Amino acid sequence: MSVLNPPRHPIVAAALGLAKSWCRGHIIDDAPALAHAARVARTLVTHHPGAPANLVAAALLHDAPGFAPPHLNLCAYLDAHIYPGVGRLVAAIHAKHVRMSYGAQPTPDPDPAVTIVLAVDKAVAFRALLRRARRSGDTLPASIYISPPPIPRG
């Protein structure tokens, strides 16, 4: 059973409803943005089975800053309609994601939840990249699969 299957926690249900609305028409990793959001949430729960509902909600909405209506005070809206603190968490995840996209040095985040969701997001994106590579038909030379030579001992 998936965290996204009914019966859902009310926080997850509310976040999924917003994700469905805001992701509509957007693409991430060559797939509908909602599929990416759902993969991030499912992967989070697979590797962190005790993840609280507010963290699952943040995983579902981690791309919301790019999809939500631009006039919306996203933090306040998410805190009021999902759960207090989800807005700050989503904003922190998004800010760190943007910094990483521009090549900024990774910095530790005081909230481990931010690091957890970012790590899961990157794992999901990496798997999508591997799927696209397999579908492309391009093959890599066998030489890249050969182990590097042993390090000489002096």
pTM attached to this predicted model: 0.83
CA distances from 86 to 53, 56, 130 (A): 10, 10, 31
Nearest to 129 by CA among 39, 55, 47: 39
Residues 48-75 have pLDDT tens digits of: 999 999 999 999 999 999 999 999 999 9
* Domains defined along the chain, listed by start: 10-134 (1.10.3210.10)
Check pLDDT > 90 for residue 98.
no
Check pLDDT > 80 for residue 92.
yes
Q: What value does the mean pLDDT take over residues 92-108?
A: 82
